[in-house]
Amino acid sequence: MVNSCKENKSRLLILYATQTGNALDVAERVGREAERIGCPALLLSMDEYDASCLSNEEIVMFIASTTGQGDAPDSMKAFWRFLCRKNLDRLNPPWLGGLSFAVFGLGDSGYQKYNFVAKKLDKRLSNLGAKAIIEKGLGDDQHPSGYEGALDPWLSSLWALLNQMYPTFFPRGLETINPSMSVLDPPKFEIIYHDVDKVQPLFSTVSDLKCMEMQIERARLMSPGKFSHDKIRPHCFLKMITNQRLTKSGCGKDVRHFEFEALSSVIEYQVGDVLEVLPSQNAAAVDAFIKRCDLNPDLFITVQPRGIENILPDSLKNVSRLPIRLKKFVELTMDVASASPRHYFFEVMSFFATAQHEKERLQYFASPEGRDDLYQYNQKERRTVLEVLEDFPSVQLPFEWLVQLVPPLKTRAFSISSSLSAHPGQVHLTVSVVSWVTPFKRKRMGLCSTWLAGLDPQERVCIPVWFHKSSLPSPPPSLPLILIGPGTGCAPFRAFVEERAVQNQSSSIGPVMFFFGCRNEENDFLYRDFWLSHAQGCGVLSEDKGGGFYVAFSRDQPHKVYVQHKMQEESQRLWNLLSTGAAVYVAGSSTKMPADVLSCLEDIIAKEGGVTRETAVRWLGALERAGNYHVEAWS
């Protein structure tokens, strides 16, 4: 962590908080443009910066993504908690009275709390006395050009304003920000190649699992992907023991139930936690990428920042300096056949194109005029790095640039759908196998879900995983619960019900109402027998226990029926639980469902509680602030 609180009046500090990598891409672009105009810039993730030093800065740019239902990225949470300290409000003069700042947010207007993180960050900085240089910028994934549709004009205005306010910061002039692609910035990383004979003995005395753990740790420490330190070394390795299809074949949806056992370490988690999986890439795609880029897969390499001090903790620095085979580094850190490259990838490619028509096309894509066409070609079609390189055969990018520009291979997070109390030594997942068709009718498959669905439980495949908390905390046994989880949103609630069933054997438990939804009773009624068995007699979901199980089949009748319709039908029972202190948990698709459920609850509270809609809104707000309204949503 950068914790030197000396005066920093001659640089631009860029702090970013990212969950998927977009905010990092924006921050790196801002840093490149600042350096082109001669302004020293320091780029840091918010969890790498000591927030107590913020009052010593003069100019700071904040780039922040909004995740889920208005949540801050993990890397921002500690930083935000510091900014929210009450004692900072009482300082006179204001704590940030000497700071000028700008905020750019990345979000999706399809979500209810669109760019919520950037908005509250902008407001909090102002409340602490900081002065906004420019109105906050709000990038929108729904824009025809993605977040860059808002970023381009916002950045242009920002540089113009900064040039007026701090002319000495920009000795080279604003005209150098967008050069006519005649100068290429040097790559930020360098590759060191090692003698194979001296490297191989390092691996001769370790087990296969230990060797795999070392390789993953080493590769992710070297990678420019900015993996957080708690997601570098896997918590353990799993082996799949069950791969069961839950949906009817031919129904258009493929949802799987996976069960895993540990191959190393001990499995430890609570209900509500998530499992992050590092997927394996298609071997043929990795080989094709290496061949296309004319790389030697057997060389041993180390990757390190060029001319920048390594800010890793001392305990990890030695590990990051150990060599790794080039092919293994690509497999573990570079997403060559799933993720789409970013805008800067095309700009750099234009410098290495030897065919004139390819150079001109790449220069057009990299220009402001070609931004919309690039979005249609690249992001809309979800073209992969390998596909783009194959479309421009005259381009031969050096490996240093590929390491910097290829999107990092990321873990995929899934809600855990089992209770450790019910299944000791196991973890279960409920996964929808992702597939879609692009505007130009190209079929795409989700990397991780497709890989998991293709695994044979009879074969020993080592799956590296991490366990993490989600936004669904494990509830105490006596707490009444209202669970709403259509589709694969039922996954964490299967775990909740299993946990309550175990607790019910030795202590009293609170009632549980669960609202589930799917398209058809015959096609995708996930875990049908499980829910129905717990809804009978004195089961966890039985009405005899004060709860209930209610399912909406949206397409089994002429009119659509969703979970909120079932909630309306049970409005009095719902209100009875809410008014006696029940907690609400919502999980599932992040499109309209969470907002529709919230609106439905507002209606129910207003109707059954005999209050105005405004009072109902405040009532639910208080429930959320008290830590009893939780949403886990995914796109």
- Residue ranges, the chain, pLDDT below 70: 1-10, 69, 170-182, 200-206, 226-230, 308-320
Summarised one tens digit per residue, pLDDT across range 301-359 is 999 988 755 555 554 455 557 899 999 999 999 999 999 998 899 999 999 999 999 99
Task: List binding-site positions.
Answer: 18-23, 65-68, 141, 382, 412-415, 446-449, 488, 554-555, 560-564, 596, 634
- For residues 368 and 111, what is the distance between their CA atoms, to the nearest angstrom? 28
Amino acid at 319: V
Summarised one tens digit per residue, pLDDT across range 219-239 is 999 998 766 666 788 999 999
- For residues 541 and 501, what is the distance between their CA atoms, to the nearest angstrom? 9
pLDDT for res 258:
98
User: Do 465 and 275 contact (CB within 8 A), yes or no?
Assistant: yes
Exposure b/e, 159-189, CB count within 10 A at least 16 = b: beebeeebeebbeeeeeebeeeeeeeeebbb
What is the β-pairing status of strands 463-468 and 274-277? Answer: antiparallel
Residue 473: both structure tokens together: 């905390």
Task: List binding-site positions for FAD.
Answer: 382, 412-415, 446-449, 634
Domains and CATH numbers, the chain: 8-176 (3.40.50.360), 481-634 (3.40.50.80)
Residue 127 host element (H or E):
helix 116-127
Give strand pairing partners of 61.
Answer: 14, 102
Exposure b/e, 349-372, CB count within 10 A at least 16 = b: bbbbbeeeebbebbbebbbeebbe
Note the helical H segments in 520-562.
Answer: 528-534
DSSP-derived secondary structure letter, 67? B
Residue 106: both structure tokens together: 């990345």
- For residues 241 and 426, what is the distance between their CA atoms, to the nearest angstrom? 9
Task: List binding-site positions for NADP(+).
Answer: 488, 554-555, 560-564, 596
Task: List binding-site positions for FMN.
Answer: 18-23, 65-68, 141
pLDDT for res 289:
98
DSSP-derived secondary structure letter, 378? T
Exposure b/e, 497-528, CB count within 10 A at least 16 = b: bbbbbebbeeeebbbbbbbbbbbeeebbbbbe
If we measure between CA atoms, which residue out of 142, 65, 137, 149 comes closest to residue 374? 149
Summarised one tens digit per residue, pLDDT across range 264-278 is 788 999 999 999 999
If we measure between CA atoms, which residue out of 498, 480, 483 comes closest to residue 588? 483
DSSP-derived secondary structure letter, 481? E
